[in-house]
Amino acid sequence: MPVHLVVLAAGQGSRMNSDRPKVLHEIGQAPLFVHALAAGAALSPERRILVVGHGAEAVRAAALDEDPDIAVVEQGERRGTAHAVAQARTALAGAQGDVFVLYGDTPFIRPETLSMMAAARAGGASVVVLGFEATVPGRYGRLIVEGDELIRIVEYKDATEAERAITLCNSGVICADAAILFQLVDAVGCDNAAEEYYLTDIVSIARDRGLRCTTVACEEAETMGVNTRQELARAEATFQARRRAEAFDDGVSLTAPETVFFAHDTVIGRDATIEPHVIFGPGVTIESGATIRAFSHLEGAHVGDGAVIGPYARLRPGAEIGGDARIGNFVEIKSAEIGPGAKVNHLSYVGDATVGERANLGAGTVTCNYDGVFKHRTEIGAQAFIGSSTMLVAPVRIGTGAMTGSGSVITQDVPDDALAIARARQSNKEGLARRLMSKLRANKAKRTN
């Protein structure tokens, strides 16, 4: 059956004490709401709707940047979860199948859990509610179940002592028949202390209409919400622990896993080795057998099989590192393709460049790519040898098999197999060092006296 996804992301999150909307705070270097969308993406939804409210324009911009095809609707007046879902009515006009309602501040719902809910819908339930067995039920709403039927959801303040003893609690996540969802939402009232329209009320309304409701249970950790900075930190720790465990399962070696930090979309191949204190920003793919050495930072980069990065290396967006290449200590690569087997081993910056296969860049090599207004490219041919402390002033091309002398400032193209030397002629002044130091020491003595 077709699936549609509604993610509620309208809340202010006042307990975050932030000017930023709550759902724009990040886990794994992605906004909270992105994680909810990612979970739903496993169901291949036909329509994706994000309901925004507080900080609507900022959240809208972030959402469209993440997914240009998502529908973003605004809940101008925040009057509860049912009211929020109602804002998706137009975007879901004529929809058939299942509608899942997720929350932008609940990032850990697993795709497998949503699949179980879809299966329950396929089994004949009009409304499926996601529950969890709470270690400390506290003030969560309780799910009242008889057999496989969800009878009602009772809020803590309205529950009897017997009902409060129930540990099956409400997560708020639902799956409902698209054809009847808004009929149920329209029937929700606001006769409560907060005068808000609660989505949970659709269960009792559905049953009053003879519709079947049921529940699916998940692990409590999946329902972790983020409302404070402390909860955000705990959520980040949970995310990182999961990603490290997944890396181990995928055949990746993490020599000090607690010091490695993943982004939400990090991809690492089997038999890769990640040394301590490595940080992955968004958009990184590491191929099989590569090694990322300690204290390196990678973002928007692709590392080929068998390549070695670091220690203390920085790969910025657009870095393409070929197989068996070497990027060494205190080297920065940006918008550059480093060919297979090439070496950039020490204290170098390579930006807006192409480095050919098995080229070797000596220590202190810099591609001078910016003229103050525009960026320009440097091309270094296969098997070229760039002497230490060479400044390559782009645009410039170093030919295949060419060399540059150490300390050169290269401003013109170098033909294939040529040696370019661009530095002042050395001049030795006999005895001048001794005379100069004597004069300086004498001046120093006068000042101290």
Determine whether 346 is an active site residue: yes
Three-state SS string across the chain, please? CCEEEEEEECCCCHHHCCCCCHHHCEECCEEHHHHHHHHHHCCCCCEEEEEEECEHHHHHHHHHHHCCCCEEEECCCCCCHHHHHHCCCHHHCCCCCEEEEEECCCCCCCHHHHHHHHHHHHCCCCEEEEEEECCCCCCCCEEEEECCEEEEEECHHHCCHHHHCCCEEEEEEEEEEHHHHHHHHHCCCCCCCCCCCCHHHHHHHHHHCCCCEEEEEECHHHHCCCCCHHHHHHHHHHHHHHHHHHHHHCCCEECCHHHCECCCCCEECCCCEECCCCEECCCCEECCCCEECCCCEECCEEECCCCEECCCCEECCCEEECCCCEEEECCEEEEEEECCCCEEEECCEEEEEEECCCCEECCCCEEECECCCCECCEEECCCCEECCCCEEECCEEECCCCEECCCCEECCCECCCCEECCCCCCCCCCCHHHHHHHHHHHHHHHHHC
Q: Which of 54, 264, 297, 346 is catalytic?
A: 346
Residues with catalytic roles: 346
